[in-house]
Amino acid sequence: MREQQPAPTATRVFWCERVTYRMMEADEIAEVSRHMALDPAEAIRFIRLNVRALAAALPPMERHRALSWVDGGGCVGAVGALHRGEPCGFSLSHRGAWIEWTVRPGSCSDVHPSYSDG
């Protein structure tokens, strides 16, 4: 009798997406960028680097909120959520536009949810 081998499992990945809407109402997409991260820290680093690059151009209150998330509990909580298999994200306004970052756990065999949309 042959010993049964466990079925191979798909590698866990984290689908990262940044969507920029032309206006605060978030009704018209101006730009979308996506990439895949191999661990929660890398996925959140994607958001942190993006937010930090915009911080200097943000109004004072929005800059404070953004940097508090980047340097404080927001990104720590997001890493924790990803470790638990939960999605996370962050959003802010920038020069009249609305920007959203999201990260969703998945596997290499998954098609990113946004890629499968018509």
Q: Long-range contacts: 106-109, Cβ < 8 Å, 24+?
A: 106/12, 106/13, 106/14, 106/15, 107/9, 107/10, 107/11, 107/12, 107/13, 108/10, 108/11, 108/13, 108/36, 109/10
pLDDT band at 116 (very low <50, low <70, confident <90, very high): very low
pLDDT in tens, 84-94: 999 999 999 99
86, part of any domain:
yes
63, part of any domain:
yes
The residue ranking higher by pLDDT, 27 or 62, is 62
The residue ranking higher by pLDDT, 69 or 116, is 69
2, part of any domain:
no
Look at residue 86 and give its three-state secondary structure. coil
The parent domain of residue 66 ranges over 12-105
The pTM for the full model equals 0.80
Backbone angles phi, psi at 47, to 5 degrees: -70, -45
DSSP β-ladder status, 97-107 and 88-94: antiparallel
4, part of any domain:
no
Domain count, the chain: 1
pLDDT in tens, 58-85: 999 999 999 999 998 888 999 999 999 9
